[in-house]
A and B are shown apart, each in its own frame.
Chain A
Amino acid sequence: MKRTFTCIVCPNGCEIETGYEGSQVLSITGNLCPKGKTYVTQELVDPRRTIATSVRVTGGTLPLVSVRLTNAIPKDRIFDVMAEINRQTLAAPVKIGDVVIKNILGLDSDVIVTKNIEKA
């Protein structure tokens, strides 16, 4: 089988031509670095993504704080993770690196704060 991937690991966005059988990569061209091969291999068996969103904050200088995942999660669990994050509310102050949810849905990824919000 043949498939062309656009690598999303870095802004180079390499177009990677891949020949594969099942989850086995047989040939690979177009990647500028080894991360491209890792990406394609992962993409064939278990595509994963990180997401960034926001969480409500009470008593802060802004009504929201931005958050992100520390590790990529399976692509088909993105909306489950969003629903779980949307249940959260934090109280100001919050700071970068604060853990909002540890090991979200058992997916081996934490939700962390990415912005400092002072008390209003």
Chain B
Amino acid sequence: MMKKQAVIVGGGPAGLAAALRLKEKGIQDILILEREKVLGGILRQCIHDGFGLTRFGESLSGPEYAQRFIDKVLDAGIECITDCTVLDITPEKLVTAASREQGLLQIQADAVLLTMGCRERTRGALATPGTRPAGVYTAGVAQNYINLQNIMVGHEVVILGSGDIGLIMARRMTLEGAHVQGVYEVQPYPSGLPRNIEQCLNDYNIPLHLSHTVVDIRGRERLTSVVVAQCDERYRPIPGTEEEIPCDTLILSVGLIPENELSLAAGVELDARTRGAFVDEHCQTGVPGVFAAGNVLHVHDLVDFVSLEAEALANSAAEYLLKGSLPECRLEVKAGNNVGHVIPQRISGTRDFTLSLRVRQPLSNVSIVVRQGEKEVLRKKMRKALPAEMIQLPIKAEKLSDSADMEVYVE
């Protein structure tokens, strides 16, 4: 059995950034386990630009952004095993993995870093009625086919859901000669970023139909049409508004779910709101020495912030490895009025940390208020706040009390 100080599960943006920071902090004995044949994670197929604006001050494609980290990881001599699937993690941090080259691996880790990312919600999760023809893809699968495998998925396209990957794929398929008839979103507001509505839909005259959904999928071998309908405020289709749209391809961009099967095996408790782990300000889960960051913790909009979060995780994990423990976090952080979720969910009240949150609905001219009992820790005015945009607030230790739970709400 191998022993490692830190085992990193997943060699995408979060895992790569965490590995580098651990090394910088003096941790020598690091192992990255990656399921795919190469490092880089989902960035390999995100060929559009706009990555790295925060971190590098320039607009890079996904593969370029990833390669900057991969080069450094390899230069630093950090050990990586690719084409290797982690099968199990125990609460005692025994990691079991299967690799074609090395067979079954068992690694006893002092710290486990969960950086597995997220996966897409599928048709099954929506329970959309209809037949089961070919031609129904999630946006990420279509992106993989088109950008990595040179397989065009279809010609007449309807997109359900206005998540960012769906918007990016609307533009991508249009550039590749497909006709995207429209994007249908069940909510009365888009779930993707405003700039993607602008540069992926408006630039190409692709209509966005809010408060609409797909109510039937038709076709035997291949998709031949979908039926869309308008929805009421409780997302129920309104009878009489149905419209049949002939098409050969339906792309689903209906949400991302943190991939936490291994976290559960390790005894990590999940937050029903984020679908990721409950963590403290050290990105530490309820299991000591098991940490989580990036999309496996909560789904981000921007990779730049995934890298930053993973680096913060690594700072804490290094401290844990060097000192044997981290300051206890007894105070709860609660999501109050109009706040969908918060990360972290527990703090010590004695250290700086970054609070991440999303609002529940589009709001304008509001304040985000962070409070501990009677004490207002922070108040941030926002001209507009959208569920599509994660809000991050740096919180300073000197503003904090170490004895009162925290509440975050919109006023």
A52 neighbours in B (Cβ, 8 Å): 47-49, 61
Chain A residue at minimal CB-CB distance from B68: A96
A96 neighbours in B (Cβ, 8 Å): 63-64, 67
How far does the alpha carbon of A119 sit from the alpha carbon of B149 in the complex, in Å? 16
A50-B59, A51-B175, A114-B61 in contact; A66/B302 too (CB < 8 A)?
A: no
| A41 interfacial by beta-carbon distance below 8 Å | no
| B403 interfacial by beta-carbon distance below 8 Å | no
| A102 interfacial by beta-carbon distance below 8 Å | no
Binds B, one of A19-27, A56-64, A103-111: A56-64
| B234 interfacial by beta-carbon distance below 8 Å | no
Q: Quick one: which of B150, B175, B199 has the most chain A CB within 10 A? A: B175
Minimum CB–CB distance from B140 to chain A (whole Å) comes to: 16
Q: Choose from B64, B194, B301 the contact partner of A114 (Cβ within 8 Å).
A: B64
B175 neighbours in A (Cβ, 8 Å): 51, 53, 78-79, 82
Minimum CB–CB distance from B43 to chain A (whole Å) comes to: 10
B49 neighbours in A (Cβ, 8 Å): 50, 52, 68
| B50 interfacial by beta-carbon distance below 8 Å | yes
Chain B residue at minimal CB-CB distance from A79: B175
A54 neighbours in B (Cβ, 8 Å): 47, 146-147, 150
Report whether A62 and B148 are in contact in the complex, using a CB–CB cutoff of 8 Å.
yes
Binary per-residue interface labels of chain A (23-55) against chain B in the complex, 1 for a CB within 8 Å, 0 otherwise: 000000010000000000000000001111110
Report whether B195 and A11 are in contact in the complex, using a CB–CB cutoff of 8 Å.
yes
Report whether B198 and A66 are in contact in the complex, using a CB–CB cutoff of 8 Å.
no
A116 neighbours in B (Cβ, 8 Å): 67
How far does the alpha carbon of A79 sit from the alpha carbon of B44 in the complex, in Å? 24
| B87 interfacial by beta-carbon distance below 8 Å | no
B148 neighbours in A (Cβ, 8 Å): 62, 64
Report whether A8 and B199 are in contact in the complex, using a CB–CB cutoff of 8 Å.
yes
How far does the alpha carbon of A67 sit from the alpha carbon of B389 in the complex, in Å? 28
Report whether B47 and A13 are in contact in the complex, using a CB–CB cutoff of 8 Å.
no
Of the A-B pairs whose beta carbons lie under 8 Å apart in the complex, a sample of 29, sorted by A's number, is A6-B195, A6-B202, A8-B199, A10-B53, A11-B50, A11-B54, A11-B193, A13-B193, A13-B198, A50-B59, A51-B175, A52-B47, A52-B48, A52-B49, A52-B61, A53-B172, A54-B47, A54-B146, A63-B149, A64-B150, A66-B61, A68-B47, A96-B63, A96-B64, A114-B60, A114-B61, A115-B63, A115-B67, A116-B67
Interface residues of B (CB under 8 A from A): 44, 47-50, 53-54, 59-61, 63-64, 67, 146-150, 172, 175-176, 193-195, 197-199, 202-203, 301-302, 383-384, 389
Interface residues of A (CB under 8 A from B): 6-8, 10-11, 13, 15, 30, 49-54, 56, 62-64, 66-68, 75, 78-79, 82, 96, 114-116
Known: A62-B148, A114-B61. 16 other contacts (CB 8 A): A11-B302, A13-B198, A50-B49, A54-B147, A54-B150, A56-B150, A62-B149, A63-B150, A66-B63, A66-B147, A68-B47, A68-B49, A68-B61, A114-B60, A114-B64, A116-B67
